[in-house]
């Protein structure tokens, strides 16, 4: 098989003597051979890492506890954070349970994440057979399946090579950094012999599929406005905010979100006015602004239309379905001219873009981005990864 491959590559006339059907057969044979070879070493795991959300109302308390107990996300106190997290979770659970009931009885993040990961793996089987077979996984930071549950499943499945693919396209130490720290803790506890070799896609704000999918969804939603005002609709790109004490550490998140917004607007030829705004602030501490709700309240009375775009989210969840839809839009006296762009969810352009991101990552043999060491140098954690090279080791031959 190697000889056939070398002849085909070396001879400029080889394709003349091999017809289309024969070329397809050769490609299938090469793909099958690569798959069989890699199958002996176990499948390649493609692990979608995200915050997650309670799939049912009953999971809300545990989700809130895990979230407030994470010192990377909410740096309260190393010694007292678990106790404080229990109190906050108990206090907030009734309110958040009500919100999940109002959006259908739970978060759709798991359903969409599993669907997206499955589709990405199916595409990779065709576009990058060298790593086949591929097996999709989801590892949530605060909801099931938690990172340790997913890791145990991967060990059981015999995975030997895995890509930790963050589903936060824009890096923040409090989100992607937290997931990487948690993954390292589980590696040390569950896989000290390092049977699984890891690499990570830790950011992808300019991914072509991501940009094109947002542009597609925006253009489709603009068609729902009267033709006379479509070009006058203000686009409000809304991302989850960060506390200013996190921003002031030099966190990459604001700049990377802004980069995605600019790429999307370039795709749209800047035909509408736009702003980047921030949502989901909690507590008395200063947060990154301006707040989405306040800008909407200011602009709505005189605007021809406002279109909200959930730019930092890869699927629907409580921040889109409840905070924006049921809160900002439905409660506005100007709701008739306020709309939200569809989330990425099952968008085929987006899923193809993610598959291409993984393919390029595997072909480059990159273990992590060049920015990640600086992210970890600036980030603050009580239990961080100390050596990224130790965590993300070179792939064995």
- As annotated, the active-site residues are 51, 67, 73, 141-142, 240, 316, 319, 323
The Cα–Cα gap between 141 and 109 comes to 12
Contact (Cβ atoms closer than 8 angstroms) between residue 251 and residue 172: yes
d(CA 249, CA 310): 25
| Cβ proximity of 151 and 190 under 8 Å | yes
Residues 6 or more apart whose Cβ sits within 8 Å of residue 106: 53, 54, 55, 56, 57, 59, 100
The closest alpha carbon to 239, from 323, 163, 158, belongs to 323
DSSP string of 112-175, one letter each residue: HHHHHHHHHHHHHHHH-GGGPSEEEEEEESSSSSBHHHHHHHHHHHT--EEEEEES-SS--III
| Distance of alpha carbon 365 from alpha carbon 361, whole angstroms | 6
Unique residue bearing structure tokens 């995975």: 159
Give the count of alpha carbons within 13 A of 99, CB side only. Answer: 21
Q: Cβ distance 182 to 231 under 8 Å?
A: no
Question: From residue 52, how far is each of 63, 92, 131 by CA, in Å?
Answer: 8, 18, 27
Q: What is the DSSP code string of 355-388? A: HHHHHHHHHHT-SS-TTHHHHHHH---SS--S-H
């Amino acid at each position: 098989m190697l000889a056939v491959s070398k002849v085909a590559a070396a001879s400029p006339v080889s394709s003349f003597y091999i017809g289309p059907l024969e070329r397809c057969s050769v490609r299938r044979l090469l793909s099958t051979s690569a798959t069989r070879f890699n199958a002996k070493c176990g499948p390649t795991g493609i692990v979608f890492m995200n915050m997650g959300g309670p799939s049912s109302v009953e999971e809300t308390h545990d989700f809130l506890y895990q979230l407030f107990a994470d010192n990377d996300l909410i740096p309260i106190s190393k010694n007292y954070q678990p106790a404080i997290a229990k109190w906050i979770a108990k206090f907030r659970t009734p309110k958040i349970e009500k919100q999940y009931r109002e959006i259908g009885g739970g978060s759709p993040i798991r359903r969409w994440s599993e669907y997206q990961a499955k589709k990405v793996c199916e595409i990779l089987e065709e576009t990058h057979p060298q790593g086949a077979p591929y097996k999709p996984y989801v590892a949530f930071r605060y909801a099931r399946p938690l990172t340790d549950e997913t890791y145990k499943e991967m060990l059981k499945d015999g995975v030997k090579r895995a890509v930790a693919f963050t589903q936060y396209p824009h890096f923040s130490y409090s989100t992607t950094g937290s997931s990487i720290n948690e993954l390292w803790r589980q590696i040390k506890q569950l896989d000290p012999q390092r049977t699984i070799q890891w690499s990570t896609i830790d950011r992808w704000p300019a991914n072509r599929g991501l940009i094109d999918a947002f542009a597609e969804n925006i253009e489709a939603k603009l068609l729902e406005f009267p033709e006379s005002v479509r070009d006058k609709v203000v686009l409000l790109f809304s991302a989850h905010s960060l506390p200013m004490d996190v921003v002031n550490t030099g966190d990459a998140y604001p700049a990377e979100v802004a980069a995605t917004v600019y790429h999307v607007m370039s795709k749209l030829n800047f035909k509408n006015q736009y702003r980047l705004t921030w949502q989901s602030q909690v507590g008395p501490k200063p947060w990154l602004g301006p707040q989405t709700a306040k800008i909407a309240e200011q602009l709505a009375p005189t605007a021809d239309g406002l279109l909200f775009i959930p730019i930092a989210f890869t699927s629907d969840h409580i921040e889109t379905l409840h905070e924006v839809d049921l809160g900002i839009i439905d409660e506005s006296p100007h709701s008739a001219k306020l709309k939200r762009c569809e989330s990425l969810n099952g968008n085929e352009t987006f899923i193809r873009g993610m598959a291409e991101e993984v393919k390029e990552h595997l072909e480059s043999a990159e273990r992590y981005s060049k920015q990640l060491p600086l992210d970890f140098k600036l980030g603050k954690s009580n239990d961080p990864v100390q050596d990224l090279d130790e965590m993300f080791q070179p792939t064995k031959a």
